[in-house]
Amino acid sequence: MATTPTLDRHTLPSGGRVRSFIKRLRAGEEAAYLLTLAAAATILLITSLIFYELYVQSALSRHKFGFHFLFTQTWNPVTGDFGALPYVYGTVVTSVLALIIAIPQGLGSAIFLAELAPPKISDALAFLIELLAAVPSVIFGLLGMYVLVPILQSSVVPALRTVFGFLPVFQGAFYGVSYFAAGVVLSIMIVPFIVSISREVLLAVPQEQREASLAVGANRWQTTWHVVVPYALKGIMGSIFLALARALGETMAVTMVIGNVPQIKASLLAPGYSIAAVIANEFTEAVGDLYTSALIELGLVLFLVTFVINGLARLMIMTTTRQGAHS
Amino acid sequence: MQNRNQTKSLGLASALLGGGLVLAGLLITAPGAPTKAAMPPADSLQITGAGATFPYPMYSKWFNEYQKLHPNIEINYQSIGSGGGIKQVTEGTVDFGASDGPMTDDQLNAFQAKHGAPVLHFPTVLGADVPTYNIPGVKAELKFTPEALAGIFLGKITKWNDPAITGQNSGVELPGADIVVVHRSDGSGTTYIWTDYLSKVSEEWKNKVGKGTSVNWPVGLGGKGNEGVSGQVQQTANSIGYVELIYAIQNHMSYGMVKNAAGNFVKADLASVTEAASGASRDMPDDFRVSITNAQGKNAYPVSSFTWLQAITDFLHWMMTDGQNMTEALAYARLPRPVQQKELKSISKVQ
Residue range A220-257, pLDDT digits in tens: 999 999 999 999 988 898 899 989 999 999 999 999 99
User: Which parts of chain A register pLDDT below 50?
Assistant: 1-9, 324-327
What mean pLDDT comes out for the span B167-190? 92
Task: Give the three-state DSSP class for A199.
Answer: helix
Percent of chain B with pLDDT over 70: 85
What mean pLDDT comes out for the span B85-100? 84
pLDDT for residue B347 is more than 60: yes
Q: How far is CA B231 from CA A129, A153, B132, B237, B242, in A?
A: 29, 15, 11, 12, 12
Task: Give the three-state DSSP class for B255.
Answer: coil
Q: Provide, as residue numbers in chain B, all residues whose Cβ is less than 8 Å from the Cβ of A281.
A: 185-187, 214, 222, 224
Q: Is domain B6-126+306-347 annotated with CATH 1.10.10.10?
A: no
Q: How far is CA A63 from CA A26, A43, B117, in A?
A: 54, 29, 32
Asked if B320 contacts B263 with a C-beta cutoff of 8 angstroms, the reply is no
Residue ranges covered by each domain of chain A: 18-57, 85-326
The pTM assigned to this predicted structure is 0.81
Q: How far is CA B225 from CA A239, B49, B185, in A?
A: 34, 22, 7
Q: Provide, as residue numbers in chain B, all residues whose Cβ is less than 8 Å from the Cβ of A292.
A: 83, 87
Please tell me the distance in Å from A208's CA to the nearest CA on chain B. Answer: 54
Of B101, B187, B222, nearest to A286 by CB-CB distance is B187
Q: Which residues pair with B239 in a beta bridge?
A: B134, B180
- Report the residue of A287, A291, A293, A298 to disrupt the B interface, i.e. the one with the largest count of B CBs within 10 Å: A287
Asked if B189 contacts B183 with a C-beta cutoff of 8 angstroms, the reply is no
Contact flag B224-A175 (C-beta cutoff 8 Å): no
Euclidean distance between CA atoms A95 and A250, whole angstroms: 9
Asked if A187 contacts A105 with a C-beta cutoff of 8 angstroms, the reply is yes
Of B187, B223, B231, nearest to A285 by CB-CB distance is B187
pLDDT for residue B8 is more than 70: no
Please tell me the distance in Å from A76's CA to the nearest CA on chain B. Answer: 5
Task: Give the three-state DSSP class for B309.
Answer: strand
B240 vs B11: which has the higher pLDDT: B240
Q: What's the pLDDT at B95?
A: 82
What mean pLDDT comes out for the span B317-332? 78
Amino acid letter for position A291: Y
If 0-12 CB within 10 Å is exposed, 13-18 middle and 19+ buried, where does residue A206 land?
A: exposed
A15 vs B116: which has the higher pLDDT: B116
Domains B6-126+306-347 and B127-270 share a fold: yes
Q: Provide, as residue numbers in chain A, all residues whose Cβ is less than 8 Å from the Cβ of B106.
A: 288
Q: What's the pLDDT at A97?
A: 96
Contact flag B222-A259 (C-beta cutoff 8 Å): yes
Q: Please report which confidence band the pLDDT of residue B350 belongs to, taking 50, 70 and 90 as the band edges.
A: low
Please tell me the distance in Å from A229's CA to the nearest CA on chain B. Answer: 42
CA nearest A76 in B: which residue? B216
Is A145 within 8 Å of chain B by CB?
yes
Residue range B185-224, pLDDT digits in tens: 988 888 999 999 999 999 999 999 999 889 999 999 999 8
Please tell me the distance in Å from B92's CA to the nearest CA on chain A. Answer: 16
Euclidean distance between CA atoms B17 and A166, whole angstroms: 74
pLDDT for residue B33 is more than 60: no
Q: Please report which confidence band the pLDDT of residue B45 belongs to, taking 50, 70 and 90 as the band edges.
A: confident
CA nearest A147 in B: which residue? B235
Residue range B11-24, pLDDT digits in tens: 333 332 322 222 22
B→A interface, C-beta within 8 Å: 80-84, 86-87, 101, 104, 106-107, 178, 180, 185-189, 209-217, 220-224, 228, 231-232, 235-236
Q: Which CATH architecture has domain B127-270?
A: 3-Layer(aba) Sandwich (3.40)
CB pairs under 8 A between A and B: 97
Q: Provide, as residue numbers in chain A, all residues whose Cβ is less than 8 Å from the Cβ of B178.
A: 173
Q: Please report which confidence band the pLDDT of residue B315 belongs to, taking 50, 70 and 90 as the band edges.
A: low
Residue ranges covered by each domain of chain B: 6-126+306-347, 127-270
Contact flag B215-A146 (C-beta cutoff 8 Å): no
Q: What's the pLDDT at B11?
A: 31
Please tell me the distance in Å from B264's CA to the nearest CA on chain A. Answer: 31
- Report the residue of B185, B226, B227 to disrupt the A interface, i.e. the one with the largest count of A CBs within 10 Å: B185
Mean pLDDT of all residues belonging to chain B:
81
Of A256, A287, A292, nearest to B213 by CB-CB distance is A287
Q: Is domain A85-326 annotated with CATH 1.10.3720.10?
A: yes
First to last CA, chain A: 22
Is A97 within 8 Å of chain B by CB?
no
Q: Provide, as residue numbers in chain B, all residues whose Cβ is less than 8 Å from the Cβ of A79.
A: 210, 216
What mean pLDDT comes out for the span B280-295? 82
Is A286 within 8 Å of chain B by CB?
yes
B80 vs B166: which has the higher pLDDT: B166
pLDDT for residue B41 is more than 80: no
Q: Provide, as residue numbers in chain B, all residues whose Cβ is less than 8 Å from the Cβ of A284.
A: 80-81, 83-84, 186-187
- Report the residue of A78, A137, A263, A285 to disrupt the B interface, i.e. the one with the largest count of B CBs within 10 Å: A285
Euclidean distance between CA atoms B325 and B245, whole angstroms: 19
